[in-house]
Amino acid sequence: MDLLNTLVDKGLRRELPTREEALAVLATSDDELLDVVAAAGKVRRKWFGRRVKLNYLVNLKSGLCPEDCSYCSQRLGSKAEILKYTWLKPEDASKAAAAGIAGGAKRVCLVASGRGPTDRDVDRVSKTIEAIKEGNEGVEVCACLGLLSDGQADRLRAAGADAYNHNLNTSEATYGDITTTHTYADRVETVRQAHAAGMSACSGLIAGMGESDADLVDVVFSLRELDPDSVPVNFLIPFEGTPLGKEWNLTPQRCLRILAMVRFVCPDVEVRLAGGREVHLRTMQPLALQIANSIFLGDYLTSEGQEGKADLAMIADAGFEVEGAGTTTLPEHRADAVAAGCGSHAASGCGSHAGGGCGPCGGGGAAAEEPAEAAVPAATGAGAGEARTDLVAVRRRGAGTDLPPNA
């Protein structure tokens, strides 16, 4: 297939595909699926070999959120019967993190629901970061606390945060249909603040919310323009009691095409197979490892994931290896830029921009200029996914409970 040969060549050179090429990946048939996976796998192996990075989530504060994000079980007005608790003490959060680290995780993601942290919240999280790092030398810590105010990113970095996560989630054009209590621009600004403070930026998307193919391409091109080091690809978990609880738009095949498109657009970036993989990819999760080089181990924020030991067995059976603590995840050209504390803006000339703008941001601004006819409904030609409500299990163990975590 000429398309796939072109995309592999571009991926090996860190060259941005066109929007038409990205859309064409999403439009491939099921008969072509294994070819798409194999092509994306060549790009993945070029930059990340056969390593799989494990990440572990600790939900510092569950529920009680004033924002109205339609996809979220913790949103204002959510009737999902999730765990609700206020801030974990640093020692309790550190204990929860230790379980994930013992299972092989090299990054701990500290997440708290809410619009954004107060200065007191930043103090709490800073103490938690210090507690985790004190007992686990070399572990990476990523904070995910919502929208940041002036100076908060610098304080988190000073406390030892290696990264900050804030997802764009969907395209700018459709963002207002998903959330009304903050804007797409607010999210972009927080990612930029994290970059400016010297943290590694982590920003991704949620697929399966009824978006079009064009929306998916838009958000991934926007992410490439922001130049995060890691891009989590989430697949909507339709929680009963949320506005999107009836949305079952994904098939395993479509999930693989979405992952492949992300890999081609972001070839040298840590692509993380994130929430919803068990629900929508199901038995095809091992194929996704051919494309993604990072996963979350065990449970998620409010839902239970695959057993940690099953994750490890899946990685081994697929012929991959867990990335060790002493291994640098990112390719050398990106890792050097992170170590130097460089931001992502083209004027900086650092990271993947060295060499004429062929890195993850090069040409991303062209996304807004494409014609409207590219907006093909997501379900067109893909088939709606079967509703598997039996696979949506609310988390009842780990942080905020007396039961041991899944790690």
- The catalytic position among 72, 144, 342, 350 is 72
- The catalytic position among 14, 75, 107, 109 is 109
User: Which H helix or E strand runs over 46?
Assistant: helix 33-48
The whole-angstrom separation of Cα 391 and Cα 279 is 6
69 is an annotated ligand-binding site residue: yes
- The catalytic position among 142, 255, 350, 361 is 142
272 is an annotated ligand-binding site residue: yes
Q: Is 361 one of the annotated active-site residues of the chain? A: no
- The catalytic position among 202, 266, 350, 361 is 202
The whole-angstrom separation of Cα 205 and Cα 137 is 30
- The catalytic position among 65, 255, 342, 361 is 65
8 A C-beta contact, residue 235 and residue 268: no
Q: Is 254 one of the annotated active-site residues of the chain? A: no
CB atoms within 10 A of CB 375: 18
CB atoms within 10 A of CB 336: 15
Q: Is 358 one of the annotated active-site residues of the chain? A: no
109 is an annotated ligand-binding site residue: yes
72 is an annotated ligand-binding site residue: yes
Q: Is 350 one of the annotated active-site residues of the chain? A: no
- The pairing of beta strand 321-322 with beta strand 294-296: unpaired
358 is an annotated ligand-binding site residue: no
User: Which H helix or E strand runs over 225?
Assistant: helix 213-226
Chain length of the chain: 407
Exposed / middle / buried, residue 134 (Cβ in 10 Å: 0-12, 13-18, 19+): exposed
- The catalytic position among 272, 277, 334, 395 is 272
Q: For 42-62, give one letter per residue: b (16+ CB within 10 A) or e.
A: bbbebbbebbbbbbbbbbbbb
- The catalytic position among 14, 19, 44, 69 is 69
At 369, list the tokens. 């200029």
266 is an annotated ligand-binding site residue: no
Instruction: Concatenate the DSSP letters of all residues of 246-295 into one string.
Output: T-----HHHHHHHHHHHHHHSTTSEEEE-TTHHHHTGGGHHHHTTT-SEE
State the Cα angle at 71 between 68 and 77, rounded to 5°.
40
Binding residues for [4Fe-4S] cluster: 65, 69, 72
Which positions make up the binding site?
65, 69, 72, 109, 142, 202, 272
Catalytic positions are: 65, 69, 72, 109, 142, 202, 272
